[in-house]
Amino acid sequence: MKTAVAVAVAAALFVTACAPATRMIIKPGTKEQPVADPAAATIVVGNISNWKVLNLLDEDGKVVGQLTGRSHTILKRPAGPMKLFAIPEKEGAWGDRVEGTLENGRVYYVKIGMRFGGASVTTLSERTDKEEWPNRKTYIDDLERVNMDAVQIAGLTADLGDPSKLISAVEKVVAGWEPADKTARTFEAADGEK
């Protein structure tokens, strides 16, 4: 009996330790190829790694998306300068980001993978990755589509705490990248397809 209780307690601790530090607020979406929106820039974000929870924040620290496992989401953003941060759970030092200028009526692609010490977030365009560019549609075909449950955004925002601390930690990571790494993380307006 004592052994059974000890095993149950150990299992409960293991499950708790493996639980994400932030709530997952995603729901399944419909797979469809993105269409350029004349009133906004469209960003396809594909997580090709197995991160349990990746929180996507904009330059103001607002939660704009979330991914789990091998999945993708589609974001709409206004034209102009932008930053998109991908933060595993709420570990800013594990995060990464892309930045650049977006243009309405274009579809942009971002791929998220893993690097030593955290997430790797890069732009996917003919300019930045000629080999991978022809495969961009596979992010939609091969990865599950997810959307955020808008009702739960406030709870996730509370879980994350002060977004400026998370963004600051990511910026410290990005500051150490080599010029080629920074190029791979930078959009130019023409990188999106019409």
Is residue 146 within 8 A of residue 68, CB to CB? The reply is yes
What is the per-residue pLDDT across 125-150, written as a single tens digit (0 to 9) for each? Answer: 999 999 999 989 887 889 999 999 99
pLDDT at 3: 53
What is the per-residue pLDDT across 77-120, written as a single tens digit (0 to 9) for each? Answer: 999 999 999 999 999 999 999 999 999 999 999 999 999 999 99
Q: Phi, psi at residue 174, to the nearest 5°?
A: -65, -35
User: Residue 19: pLDDT band by 50, 70, 90 thresholds?
Assistant: low
Residue 194 predicted with pLDDT over 50: yes
What is the per-residue pLDDT across 151-168, written as a single tens digit (0 to 9) for each? Answer: 999 999 999 999 999 999
Compare 21 and 106 and report the one with higher pLDDT. 106
Q: Measuring CA to CA, which residue among 91, 82, 79 is closest to residue 64?
A: 82
For 8, how many CA atoms within 13 A lie in the half-sphere containing its CB? 5
What is the per-residue pLDDT across 35-48, written as a single tens digit (0 to 9) for each? Answer: 999 999 999 999 99
The C-alpha atoms of residue 149 and residue 92 are separated, in whole angstroms, by 23
Kindly report the pTM of this predicted structure: 0.88
pLDDT at 191: 97
The C-alpha atoms of residue 194 and residue 190 are separated, in whole angstroms, by 9
Mean pLDDT along residues 7-25: 55
User: Residue 16: pLDDT band by 50, 70, 90 thresholds?
Assistant: very low
What residue ranges do the domains of the chain occupy?
22-191
